[in-house]
Amino acid sequence: MTTTAPTAAPIAKIAFIGAGSVVFTQGLLTDLLAFPDLRGLHIALHDIDPERLATAHGAARHLTERAGAAPYTTVTAHPERRAALAGADFVINIVQVGMGASTRTDFDVPAGYGVRQTIGDTLGVGGIFRALRTFPVLRALGADIAELCPDAWLLNYTNPMAMNVQYLTAATGLTRVVGLCHSVYWTLRDLSALLKVPYEEVTYRAAGVNHQSWMLRLEHDGADLYPRLDELIASDEQLRRRVRVDMYRRLGYYPTETSEHSAEYVPWYLRHDSEIERLRLPVGAYLGIVAENVAQYERTRDALAAGEPLDAEATMEYAPQVIHSITTGTPRTVYGNVPNHGLIDNLPAAGTVEVPCLVDASGVQPTRIGALPAQCAALNRSYLSMNDLVVRAALEDDPRSVRQAAMADPATAAALPVERIWELCDAMVRAHGDLLQPSLRATDLL
């Protein structure tokens, strides 16, 4: 179904896979439509949920009309993925396999074994099984892209980011794959506000892995901002009650993700009641975010049905910037998650790393960083080692690697003895059932 008939061939076709994540889709569209030189896009929306697809389609039509782009922009809705992908120049992946019900399983089952999680979408038991139920969809998506739009750029937002990008490149052979996350951008915005320095005037560089990169350089007018941050932390007890600040004080480099995320990737915090209290960690926080996402979706659906205006706002996400740069040749730097082909010397070559990337008409070009500080690389290697075991489990049809990944995960290993880790993995396999590839559904492997 098409909202308007284009007067000429579109300047680019963008396929949204998982467009039923309506709030996120609206934000990306708002950003895209704000570029005057991107008039003439074809936006192709796909979702397997008919109601969510219809809502996304209605929201996209509303936003194009509000932006004055309706005469130039084509919006189509496709319940079948291949139709959305055919001839696409860009594919934005925002699927969430299993939706809220699976997310609740990711929290409830481990909680029954005494494993605490805050977000559960990157590492840990939640991250492992979110990846394993997403991989079959990624393999099929990659095969469709290779056939229907082999030159398209696949811009992935679906978590666990690093595992998904590693699996996509290994399982599908696609090379134009980049994972996009806003954590570096918002960390810098937050630090700029905290230090009372204009964001636009800060010189910075970060690198590492998704949700655990490090602010390697932080300067204003040529002066290092870290001493000023040290003074502020020393004078503010409440700042010292944040996990990422605690990590910074001990490691010397500020991590680029929230305290809720950061607590899950190390063994030091969630295992201990005293640390949860000291650092004010909200166990199970992501379940509240899921509920709010559903409520936002329902408000959007109901507003469209009532003919009311939508309150979508710009997001400053990277995907619209990448599309604009490649389409128009406008150079800019974004942070991307890409295979570590010599980009960070002291991290595994097969892992997915997060580095600054130049984007222009030539595509996404990652920046070589060299070596990370040893203490930062040590944590990143632990993270990537667990990722590698999860990806290997799927590629090699090896259910034992799933358990070994959980054994290697720092927070899970801190919480449980090894026998209970295997029992927990069995319980998660049974709970997620048919969402996993058949070869990984085995239990009782000892």
From the list 78, 182, 211, 261, the catalytic residue is 182
Q: Is the pLDDT of residue 395 over 80?
A: yes
State the residue range of the domain holding 101: 12-180
Does 357 lie in the same domain as 211? Answer: yes
Task: Name the pLDDT band for 230 (thresholds 50, 70, 90).
Answer: very high
Residue 442 resides in a domain: no
Within 10 angstroms of residue 309's Cβ, the number of other Cβ atoms is 9
| SS3 assignment for 126-156 | HHHHHHHHHHHHHHHHHHHHHHHCCCCEEEE
* Mean pLDDT, the chain, integer: 94
Contact between 153 and 90 (Cβ < 8 Å): yes
| Chosen domain end from 149, 180, 211 | 180
Does 251 lie in the same domain as 152? Answer: no
Contact between 90 and 323 (Cβ < 8 Å): yes
Q: Is the pLDDT of residue 4 over 50?
A: no
Identify the bridge partners of residue 339 per DSSP, sorted by sequence position: 352
Q: How many domains does the chain have?
A: 2
Residue 446 resides in a domain: no
Does 175 lie in the same domain as 133? Answer: yes
| Chosen domain end from 151, 180, 209 | 180
Task: Give the pLDDT confidence score for residue 8 in this predicted structure.
Answer: 59
Q: How many CA atoms lie within 13 A of 347 on its CB side?
A: 36
Contact between 365 and 358 (Cβ < 8 Å): yes
| Chosen domain end from 150, 165, 180 | 180
Which tokens hold the place of 158?
């679906």
**Residues 6+ away with beta carbon under 8 Å from 53:** 19, 20, 45, 46, 47, 77, 78, 79
Q: How far is Cα of residue 434 from the mean position of the Cα atoms in its chain?
A: 24
Distance CA 186, CA 204 (A): 13
Q: Is the pLDDT of residue 1 over 60?
A: no
Classify 115 as helix, strand or coil.
coil
Does 234 lie in the same domain as 135? Answer: no
Strand 153-156 vs strand 90-93: parallel, antiparallel, or unpaired?
parallel
Task: Name the pLDDT band for 71 (thresholds 50, 70, 90).
Answer: confident
Does 157 lie in the same domain as 24? Answer: yes
Long-range contacts of 9-12 (CB under 8 A, 24+ apart): 10/40, 10/41, 10/42, 10/74, 11/38, 11/39, 11/40, 11/41, 11/327, 12/38, 12/41, 12/42, 12/89, 12/90, 12/323, 12/327
Distance CA 56, CA 301 (A): 9
Task: Give the pLDDT confidence score for residue 409 in this predicted structure.
Answer: 97
Task: Name the pLDDT band for 3 (thresholds 50, 70, 90).
Answer: very low
Amino acid identity at 310 = L
Task: Give the pLDDT confidence score for residue 321 in this predicted structure.
Answer: 97
Does 307 lie in the same domain as 233? Answer: yes
Q: Find where tokens 């239990």 sit.
A: 443
Does 105 lie in the same domain as 73? Answer: yes
pLDDT digits 0-9 by tens, 156-213: 999 999 999 999 999 999 999 999 999 999 999 999 999 999 999 999 999 999 999 9
Does 66 lie in the same domain as 120? Answer: yes
Q: Find where tokens 């990537």 sit.
A: 384
Does 136 lie in the same domain as 27? Answer: yes
Q: Find where tokens 């607590």 sit.
A: 263
Residue 399 resides in a domain: yes
pLDDT digits 0-9 by tens, 398-423: 999 999 999 999 999 999 999 999 99
Task: Look at phi and psi of residue 444 and say left if phi exceeds 0, alpha if psi is from -120 to 50, else beta.
Answer: left
- Residue of 318, 293, 69 lying closest to 186 (CA atoms): 318
Contact between 147 and 174 (Cβ < 8 Å): no
Q: Looking at 238-343, which runs of residues are DSSP E strands?
A: 254-255, 332-339
Residue 3 resides in a domain: no
Does 153 lie in the same domain as 80? Answer: yes
**pTM score, two decimals?**
0.95
**Residues 6+ away with beta carbon under 8 Å from 413:** 267, 407, 421
Q: What are phi and psi of 15, to 5 degrees?
A: -95, 125
Task: Using a pLDDT cut of 70, give the percent of the chain over it.
Answer: 98
pLDDT digits 0-9 by tens, 97-137: 999 899 999 999 999 999 999 999 999 999 999 999 999 99
CATH at residue 301: 3.90.1820.10
CATH at residue 160: 3.40.50.720
Active-site residue flag, 341: no
Does 198 lie in the same domain as 113? Answer: no
Distance CA 310, CA 66 (A): 10
- Residue of 38, 64, 29, 87 lying closest to 328 (CA atoms): 38
Contact between 60 and 30 (Cβ < 8 Å): no
Residue 305 resides in a domain: yes
The more confident residue out of 273 and 4 is 273
Which tokens hold the place of 227?
């001493």
pLDDT digits 0-9 by tens, 274-316: 999 999 999 998 899 888 989 988 998 998 888 888 877 888 8
Task: Give the pLDDT confidence score for residue 314 in this predicted structure.
Answer: 82
**Residues 6+ away with beta carbon under 8 Å from 102:** 129, 130, 133, 432, 435
Contact between 122 and 161 (Cβ < 8 Å): yes
Task: Give the pLDDT confidence score for residue 5 in this predicted structure.
Answer: 42
Does 242 lie in the same domain as 141? Answer: no
Strand 202-209 vs strand 212-220: parallel, antiparallel, or unpaired?
antiparallel
